[in-house]
Amino acid sequence: MVSVNYDDMMPLDPFADDPNDPASFIEDDEVVEPLTPEERRDVTRDLAQVREFRKVLSPRGILGVFFTCEDCEQLHYYNWEIMEQNMLASLRGELPPVHEPSAQPNVEAYVPWDYALGYLDGLDAR
């Protein structure tokens, strides 16, 4: 599999090369635990599914998926690029990059994960 660099999709850091970058004073307490072989297999499968969802659903106006957050019990919307970036970071043993969600996402353009899976299954059944 060819490695793809999506860093160019991220917004420029407004504090790049600034010695007074506020983030430089924050200690990173979070340690990334390596994925088990089973977790690696699952993330790799999910990544392939996200790429397929994007290929099939994007032309139909579906921008991504939504999940109910266990912490705040609200819906969170993730576009295909964010999902892919998070999974790639996990596979590289890194923390997922920070993403700013849309302030007012078009909720009609996002579907649950199970809907996306079912859509692909329906296409395969034809």
Round to whole Å and give the CA distance between 71 and 69: 5
- The ranges assigned to domains in the chain are 45-126
Q: Return the number of other C-beta atoms located less than 10 Å from residue 77's C-beta.
A: 17
Round to whole Å and give the CA distance between 105 and 11: 18
Question: How high is the mean pLDDT in each 10-residue block of the chain (126 residues)?
Answer: 55 77 69 92 98 97 93 90 94 82 84 96 83
Round to whole Å and give the CA distance between 86 and 92: 10
DSSP 67: E
DSSP 32: P
pLDDT of 115? 96
